């Protein structure tokens, strides 16, 4: 057991390290002149650029810069670009005024000893005023109510397989199989061995195809914890299976059948999250009352979706929700991951219309439970204009914890804040 636990910790820690920006010999610093990186409409942002090597500021060195509306990881029109030479260890770039709510990015690049180093800073203009570009279909509720009715006709047929090699003296761990519409949902259940009644946390996954290990520490602290995969395949297979699927049959799954609302890939996924809640309610030891859902990126999206679809959810905590305001690029600003509607393949009327039934913004409109949210201005995968589009339409109690510098990753402090919030809500 100690060997297995150590392996899991190593894998999780390795993933965490990959997610963090690695330290480089040369650091390019782009600093805005507002400490909170936030401006009013009509203000001009000014950026100070510095370059450090071995923590020593460099001088008399040329940098290249660009200023443009936040493009995510795609391309939007560049407002200003050029070169500057650092004098007295810095240079300043003043952007033109921003005339509407949104985000502006300044990128600086320098070449040192033949290698390029680059960094960017993204600032917000009245982000609390950002409105979504997507719209709500008139039959949105009817469409998803029909889907839930179809799901209710499918027996859950839960199959739990004890995984003794993962169990501890305090926690039992099970691989779980559930029947879903058009296939299965698989996950890892961790639950306290001690007899009692416990609140539950549903963990919904970020994008990709991978195995899952469950939240053993969470169960040891007195929670029933259920971590699901979304692809209808067991979540305890060898990594090579998931690698092959990611490069093959499931490559680009996020846009599968996007022109057919009844068969779009995420229909089965969203309803599968509801099925996961069905399962939690059946677990021996669940207190019958308290369920939270949480995740980041695609998991942040699924957290909002699940809370919007299922009134059995009591709390949600989401990092940088993906799939939010996907039509953004059609309106000159970055759309949410997977950042589509940028080419002839996706810019088709039927795909645009179908996307509205799956856009997180439209689920956020129906969330009624308290939510905890966190992201950064520099996120280029789930651009902040897209996440604010969902956040700003929420009418339920909500709190946003900004960590402006973060890209598509989190600081340990963010994870700790989320954990404390969930524990406080579920064990009050």
User: So which residues are the catalytic ones?
Assistant: 297, 379, 408
* DSSP run (H or E) holding 330: none
Query: How far is it, in rounded angstroms, from Cα 339 to Cα 334?
Result: 7
Q: What phi, psi does 184 have (nearest 5°)? A: -125, 165
The angle formed by the CA atoms of residues 122, 47 and 403, to the nearest 5 degrees, is: 35
CA 380 to chain centroid: 11
The angle formed by the CA atoms of residues 207, 213 and 214, to the nearest 5 degrees, is: 95
Largest CA distance in the chain: 71
Q: Omega into 338 within 30° of 0, i.e. cis?
A: yes
Binning the chain into helix, strand and coil, the percentages to the nearest 5 are 30, 30, 45
Q: Are 253 and 266 in contact (CB under 8 A)?
A: no
Query: How far is it, in rounded angstroms, from Cα 152 to Cα 176?
Result: 19
Query: How far is it, in rounded angstroms, from Cα 274 to Cα 373?
Result: 21
Q: Are 333 and 99 in contact (CB under 8 A)?
A: no
CA 137 to chain centroid: 24
Strands, sheet with 183-192, edge to edge from the N-terminal-most edge strand: 159-162, 171-180, 183-192, 224-228, 198-203, 286-296, 315-319, 371-375, 398-402
* DSSP run (H or E) holding 219: helix 216-220
């Amino acid at each position: 057991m100690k060997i297995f636990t150590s392996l899991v910790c190593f894998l999780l820690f390795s993933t965490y390290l990959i997610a963090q920006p690695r330290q480089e010999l040369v650091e390019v610093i782009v600093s805005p002149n507002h400490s909170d990186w936030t401006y009013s409409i009509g203000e001009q942002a000014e950026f100070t650029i510095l370059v450090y090597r071995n923590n020593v500021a460099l001088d008399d060195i040329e940098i290249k810069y660009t200023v443009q509306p936040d493009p995510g990881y795609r391309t939007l029109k560049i407002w200003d670009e050029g070169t500057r030479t650092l004098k007295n260890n810095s240079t300043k770039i003043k952007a033109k005024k921003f005339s509407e709510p949104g985000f502006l990015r300044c990128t600086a690049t320098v070449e040192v000893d033949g290698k390029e180093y680059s960094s960017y800073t993204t600032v917000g203009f009245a982000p609390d005023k950002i409105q979504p570009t997507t719209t709500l279909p008139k039959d949105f509720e009817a469409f998803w109510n029909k889907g839930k009715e179809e799901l209710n006709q499918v027996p859950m047929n839960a199959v739990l397989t004890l995984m003794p090699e993962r169990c501890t003296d305090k926690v039992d761990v099970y691989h779980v199989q559930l029947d879903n519409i058009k296939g299965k949902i698989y996950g890892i259940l961790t639950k306290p061995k001690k007899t009692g009644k416990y609140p539950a946390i549903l963990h919904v996954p970020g994008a990709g195809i991978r195995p899952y290990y469950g939240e053993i520490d969470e169960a040891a602290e007195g929670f029933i914890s259920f971590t699901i995969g979304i692809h209808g395949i067991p979540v305890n297979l060898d990594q090579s299976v998931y690698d092959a699927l990611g490069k093959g049959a499931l490559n680009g799954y996020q846009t599968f059948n996007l022109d057919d609302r009844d068969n779009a890939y995420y229909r089965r996924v969203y309803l599968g999250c509801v099925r996961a809640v069905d399962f939690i309610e059946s677990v021996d030891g669940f207190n019958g009352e308290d369920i939270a859902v949480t995740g980041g990126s695609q998991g942040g999206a699924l957290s909002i979706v699940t809370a919007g679809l299922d009134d059995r959810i009591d709390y949600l905590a989401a990092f940088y929700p993906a799939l939010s305001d996907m039509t953004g690029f059609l309106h000159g600003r970055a759309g949410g991951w997977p950042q589509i509607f940028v080419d002839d393949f996706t810019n088709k009327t039927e795909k645009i219309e179908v996307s509205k039934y799956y856009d997180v913004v439209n689920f956020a409109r129906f969330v009624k439970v308290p939510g905890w949210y966190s992201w950064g201005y520099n996120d280029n995968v789930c651009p902040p204009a897209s996440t604010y589009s969902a956040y700003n339409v929420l009418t339920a109690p909500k709190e946003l914890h900004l960590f402006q510098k973060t890209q598509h990753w989190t600081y340990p402090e963010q994870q700790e804040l989320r954990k404390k919030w969930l524990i406080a809500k579920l064990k009050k």
